[in-house]
Structure 1
Amino acid sequence: MYIKTQGKAGTLRNLICLRKFLVNTDETMTATKFMPLIDVELRSAWPNEAQDFTPWLFENIDFLSEAVGMSLEAREKEKNIQNLFADIVAEDSLSGELVLIENQLESSDEKHLGQIMSYLAGIDAKRVIWVASNFRDPHRSAIRWLNEHTREEYSFFAVRVRAVQIGESPLAPIFEVVEKPNEWERSLREAGVAASELTILRTRFWETYSKKYPDTVGLSRGSTVWVPMFPDKSIVLSLNVGKNFCGMFLRGNLGADNQELIQFFAPHDELLSEHFGENSRAARGVHYGSWRGIALQDEAKWDELIEWMEAKRKEYLEVFSEIEPPSNLSD
């Protein structure tokens, strides 16, 4: 609002108009109501850690991805590792690294810290995310010590989980990183350049594959494309393209129990091994894999790689035509 007037009378009128404007603005502003952000007891959101929180985090892992700066894809939950059960095993789709996620709805404790150390001895994961409602100082110090004294390829995170609400709004999750590796943001920026280039290559590769065999694979920006072996998708063939090698392997659908998969494959081991070699990486959830030492960056060999992958895919399907679908694989 601007009124151009002259003299004292004009100045007075300007002041009166300004006062009216400020009063009206104040009334408008006071009409907007603001409510405080309230922390809610975590058990109100997820009554049971194993039955409620772990499955929810498995299906909504993007919340955690954004907090830690990774592109996480949940792979398995309650994974059996040396008679202990890791809450979630995920994969960072940009780097291809396995990520171990251990969560609890209470404050951090020695039990979960010890379990993390045990899991690392039994799984090929170099990144660990420990989620808890709060972290005690000794446990924050332990995570800090691990980041400072383990090899550079290992990364440890302590992440606080909160459930919040405004008024009567739905609950919202918040993940706050309280401990992380030194120079993590800088490494993310540096890795982001290489990762974005790798993502572009992967996208172009799958586009090339899809143009040649449109009924086989869809478009993807990630390292893997899944091809179901059975109509119920209980077992899938994971086609994988990586920096140094490419190939495929059998695995369960998201959340499948790996021990149940091993039991299912056991009666068919002779048939599967005859075609695809020994099931040597079964403990890691990678079953009967076939690999070629062709790097994704070697674009001159893409046609050769696609033809090999397509022939192998058909071989897997042909072998599985002789196998009855499982009836008891849990999700």
Structure 2
Amino acid sequence: MTDIQFGRLVDLPLRDAWKHEALQFTPWLAANIDHLSDAIGVPLELTGTEVAVETFSADILARNPMDDTVVLIENQLETTDHTHLGQIMTYLAGLEAQTVVWIAPAFREPHLSAIRWLNQHTADGFSFFAVKARVVRIGDSPYAPIFEVVEKPDVWNRKLKVEPQGGDLRNLRAAYFDQIRARLPEFASEQRKRRLCFPLPSHPNLSIAIEVHRYRAMIFVLSETATDYGDLGKEIITAIPNIEETLGDIREAKWGGALFASTRCTLDQTQTWNVTLDWHVDRVRTYAAALMAEEGQA
């Protein structure tokens, strides 16, 4: 016999922990993306949430810093359905993702079969994961999230090696940022790892941030004080009318994802840079005008 008290591990419905998928589950997952990274064996850096693709919004966009590829994460609180599978395929094309992670508490067999088929028949470099999400507790203990990979590429080897071109990519990014600075002399800037940030004098805690990866260029707004990614409402509440008027009815004007916007690019083909540079320069000036107009600083 033993005096140790044992409890029973109990699975709970995901909605006991997160009542709303977009308002609670997605923000929590974005803030705790390391849990998912550990489960699938891929390093992940958050890029955006509720990222617009056509008339839909992808839940989470991340990047693998080891090879600079785009990772699409789609999460559900209910059993998988055809609608989400179709949206994933739309996002895959629209965002040029190389890795797709589909998270749900249960997967229907046809959807697991679809993930297996995609892993077997898509070109090299694409990876598809089906991840079962669980919430467990013992007695009155805190809830504990668990991620279980139920489908993955057949020859998945946890691609944790840096591409041989990694150094070249860093040099290309540095050269690109130099050209951005030359085209935007009116803005102070500072490089923060893989981002070039433009602090806003009218909003000391905010910066307009740009990134450029091998196949995707991005712009968004960063807050030094926001507790949740994309939570900019308190920082720029007075600028909301100007944002809506200046940016217009376009998807990056939505609050989810910190005014995130992106476009395609090919960083290692320098002859194509002018198109992306023009886009970034126009976006930085437009964002600055929207955020600074009420201070008379646009």
TM-score by length of 1: 0.60
What is the one-letter code of the residue matched to 2:111? Answer: H
Alignment of 1:181-200 (within 5 A): 181-185=153-157, 188=158, 191-194=159-162
Instruction: Specify the structure having the higher radius of gyration (Cα).
Output: 1
Distance 1:232 1:71, change over 3 A: farther
Q: Does 1:153 align with 2:125?
A: yes
State the match for 1:210 in structure 2.
none
Query: Given the alignment of the two structures, is residue 35 of structure 1 paired with residue 7 of structure 2, yes or no?
Result: yes
| Matched residue, 2:39 | 67
Equivalent of 1:228 in 199, 209, 218: 199
**Corresponding residue for 2:76?**
104
Q: Within 2, Cα distance between the matches of 1:151 and 1:49?
A: 32
Check conservation: 1:87, 1:102, Cα contact below 8 A. Answer: yes
Deviation of residue 36 (structure 1)? 2.2
The match for 2:66 among 84, 94, 97 is: 94
Q: Is the 8 A contact 1:229 1:320 kept in 2?
A: no
Deviation for aligned residue 1:53: 0.8
Would you say 1:325 and 2:297 are equivalent positions?
no
**Structure 1 residues 236 and 106 mapped into 2: Cα distance closer, same or farther (>3 Å)?**
same
Asked if the contact 1:75–1:91 (Cα under 8 Å) also holds between the matched residues in 2, the reply is yes
- How many residue pairs are counted as aligned between the two chains? 240
1:42–1:182 CA distance, 2 compared to 1 (3 A): same
Instruction: String of CA shifts for 1:147-186, please: whole Å, max 9, x gaps.
Output: 101111211110000001012111010011100111112x
What does residue 136 of structure 1 align with?
Answer: 108
Matched, 1:238 2:210: yes
Q: Counterparts of 1:38-57 in structure 2 under 5 Å?
A: 38-57=10-29
Structure 2: how far apart are the matches of 1:216 and 1:69?
Answer: 32
**Equivalent residues of 1:79, 1:89 under 8 A apart:** yes
Do residues 172 (structure 1) and 138 (structure 2) align?
no
Q: CA RMSD in A?
A: 4.2
1:285 partner letter: A
- Equivalent residue for 2:230, pick from 238, 255, 264: 255
Q: What displacement does 1:239 show?
A: 5.8
Give the aligned partner of residue 276 of structure 2.
Answer: none
Assess if the C-alpha contact under 8 Å between 2:67 and 2:162 holds in 1: no
How far did residue 321 of structure 1 move? Answer: 12
CA distance in 2, matches of 1:40, 1:31: 28
Q: SS where residue 22 of structure 2 aligns?
A: helix
Aligned counterparts of 1:137 and 1:293: Cα–Cα separation in 2 = 42
* Conserved? CA contact 1:123–1:284, under 8 Å: no
The question of whether the paired residues in 1 share the 8 Å contact of 2:195 and 2:209 is answered with: no
* Conservation of the 8 A alpha-carbon contact between 1:162 and 1:174: yes
1:285 aligns with 2:230: no
SS of residue paired to 2:160 = helix
Rounded Cα–Cα distance in structure 2 between residues aligned with 1:141 and 1:156 = 12
Please give the alpha-carbon distance, in whole angstroms, between the structure 2 residues aligned to 1:111 and 1:320.
35
Retained in 1: the 8 A contact 2:45–2:63?
yes
- The Cα shift of 1:327 comes to 8.6
Output the CA distance in 1 between the equivalents of 2:56 and 2:106.
Answer: 23
Q: Which has the higher strand share?
A: 2
Cα distance in 1, alignment partners of residues 208 and 29 from structure 2: 22
CA distance in 1, matches of 2:287, 2:28: 35
SS at match of 1:153: coil
Residue in 2 aligned with 1:76?
Answer: 48
> Partners of 1:262 and 1:54 in 2: how far apart?
25
Residue of structure 2 in register with 1:309 after alignment: none
